[in-house]
Structure 1
Amino acid sequence: MNNSFYLPEQPFFKLSTRQFVSRVGSSSGLLAQYYSFKVPSNDDRAIVAVPDGTIDILFHCSDSAPTASVCGSVKKGKQIEFKKGSLYFGARFFPGTAKQILKSPLSKFTDREILLDDIQSNSDESVELICGAGSFDERISLFEKYYTHCNNDKDCTPSLISFLLKKINTSCGEIRVQALAEETGYSTRHVSNVFKKYVGISPKLFSRIVRFQRSFSLLRLQKKVTFADLAQNAGYYDQAHFINEFKEFSMNTPTQIIHGSFC
């Protein structure tokens, strides 16, 4: 992650699973990542979902009962009970882009997991095909056919949302909603309402998430860095602020992540 580009991640999907593979999203620029993992059958720990400010469509590739769910961003770290020994395939959108395929305000999905069939009643056949595919690459190909069929260019991301996301990303989350409003000429209330509709959460929370995701990335890349330096580099007020927010969003301390003793 750099100062002008935010790639939403779920680090525990990789750290706590097996056979994890991923690929950057489609050339459309709306999909951030495709990924797949297998849940260990001999590990009783739940897998932590962290706030990422975006939407995933997650497929449970079960032979007997394949399903797909629309998963909105959590607001703080949350333990997710995946089916032991099962294979999952996911498509993760960039923030502000999933409304084009879901045709609903994204705030509807925040902190929730809703079956795709409840959103798009004609999705059953595609879900079965994607879950039953023989490889990761084939699942990607089938999902992109489904996505292209559902996508509607008339419902594209407004320029206001693109501008707000860019300002938050380039500031690494260090910008106030009042400053965003002043730069756009809109009221803070209008900025917040539109942002929730297209991103799912408030711009203030999204800014905190960008900062947290940056700190997690830095922690994994620079394991010898001091927490004080990491807090400063990630944009926190001080070390205590960094540790408290890291625990809230990941359900772990930075030390646990460094030593691989996370829950």
Structure 2
Amino acid sequence: MLIFVWSTNDHYVIFHLHIPSSPLCHFIESFIYYKGFQPTHSLDRFLPDGKVNIVIDLADAPQFIYDNDTLEEIQACRYVWFSGIRNNCITIPSGRDSEMFIINFHKGKAYPFVQMPLHELTDTVVDGNLVLTNEILHLREQLLALPAVPQKFAYVEKYLKRHFGSRLEPNRCIDFAVSRILQLPDQLTIEEISRKVGYSHKHFIQLFRENVGLTPKAFLKVIRFQKAIREIEALQKVSWSRVALESGYYDQAHFINDFKNFSGFTPTQYLAMKNGQLNYIPVA
């Protein structure tokens, strides 16, 4: 378990990260608990990253989703919510005054936990009980009752194994396709993957969309965009043509177009606004 506790402006920020044991670790990247975060800004633009997560809010006040353009409140979220894979950016609270427990799934690996096609949840945030039954609200109640963070992590592991243990079987076709896209987003075509998994192109696309939430082509575009984001973070002096080439784009024009579609900003605007937190851009 990774633990950070630091003091800023006379208050403490607590951040715990825990990687669950097998077999959960093959599907879940991490559990995160944080409390006391006090950023100077109030809203973040969150960029598509290929992930799905469950957010358990341990505070009582609702959190809101905001219109990307007007920044007006458009949706209230309370207690537990399921955030589907994204093909578009979303504007959310910056985390100020929050106490959160977050279950982060590996990219393309949420399918054992959701009893509906994942494309029905794409670009949506829905109440957790609509996806995971009312039991998820009981889980929140237990987390509130447990005083220590390691106890919270242990309880969630036990809960997930008890409720989903029989479903934790890999989908080898989907896992192979997702793995190849993650490894070589700048080199692959969907036709190549489809041939290797042994399904017809049409059936492969349908299977991938139901289990991941996006078509293979759309998922590949998100992962290429993410590769570009990491390139930008790593470079001290950014060459947009280099970023475009190394991220797998045909040319700089395609790169700029995709970047603006995913983030709402041009690459130059993003560079000026970013604050060191990958995929989060302060907007208000």
Coarse TM-score class (shorter-chain normalised): 0.7 to 0.9
Q: What are the superposed Cα offsets for residues 42-94 of structure 1, whole Å, 9 maximum, x if unpaired?
A: 634x3222222231001112157861111101211121257753222211101
1:259 maps to 2:272: yes
Q: What are the superposed Cα offsets for residues 191-228 of structure 1, whole Å, 9 maximum, x if unpaired?
A: 01110111111100110111111111121121313111
131-140 or 105-114, larger mean C-alpha shift: 131-140
Report if the CA contact (8 A) 1:62-1:131 is conserved. Answer: no
Name which of 134, 152, 165 aligns with 1:121.
Answer: 134
Matched with 2:160 is 147
Larger radius of gyration: 2
> How many residue pairs were aligned?
245
Name which of 13, 17, 29 aligns with 1:23.
Answer: 17
Report if the CA contact (8 A) 2:53-2:104 is conserved. Answer: yes
Matched with 1:201 is 214
Code of the residue aligned with 1:53 in structure 2: it is G
219-228 or 250-259, larger mean C-alpha shift: 250-259
CA distance in 2, matches of 1:206, 1:20: 33
1:103 maps to 2:115: yes
CA distance in 2, matches of 1:173, 1:138: 42
Report if the CA contact (8 A) 1:60-1:68 is conserved. Answer: yes
Residues 223 and 140 of structure 1: CA distance in aligned 2, closer, same or farther (over 3 Å): farther
1:34 maps to 2:31: yes
Please state whether the residue corresponding to 2:103 is helix, strand or coil: strand
Matched with 2:54 is 57
Matched with 2:45 is 48
Compute the displacement of 1:188 (Å): 1.2
In terms of fraction of residues, the more strand-rich structure is 2
Compute the displacement of 1:245 (Å): 1.5
CA distance in 2, matches of 1:115, 1:176: 35
Please state whether the residue corresponding to 1:52 is helix, strand or coil: coil
CA distance in 2, matches of 1:25, 1:151: 17
Code of the residue aligned with 2:179 in structure 1: it is K
79-88 or 194-203, larger mean C-alpha shift: 79-88
- Where structure 2 has 5 or more consecutive residues not aligned to the other structure, the ranges are 1-11, 63-77, 275-280
Matched with 1:212 is 225
Write the mapping of 1:241-256 to structure 2, written as runs, cut at 5 A: 241-256=254-269
Compute the displacement of 1:37 (Å): 4.7
Residues 178 and 159 of structure 1: CA distance in aligned 2, closer, same or farther (over 3 Å): same
CA RMSD of aligned residues (A): 2.7
Matched with 2:74 is none
Matched with 1:5 is none
Residues 47 and 138 of structure 1: CA distance in aligned 2, closer, same or farther (over 3 Å): farther
- Where structure 1 has 5 or more consecutive residues not aligned to the other structure, the ranges are 1-17
TM-score (norm 2): 0.75
Report if the CA contact (8 A) 2:89-2:263 is conserved. Answer: yes
TM-score (norm 1): 0.80
CA distance in 2, matches of 1:220, 1:135: 35
Code of the residue aligned with 2:105 in structure 1: it is F
Report if the CA contact (8 A) 2:41-2:94 is conserved. Answer: no
Residues 178 and 254 of structure 1: CA distance in aligned 2, closer, same or farther (over 3 Å): same
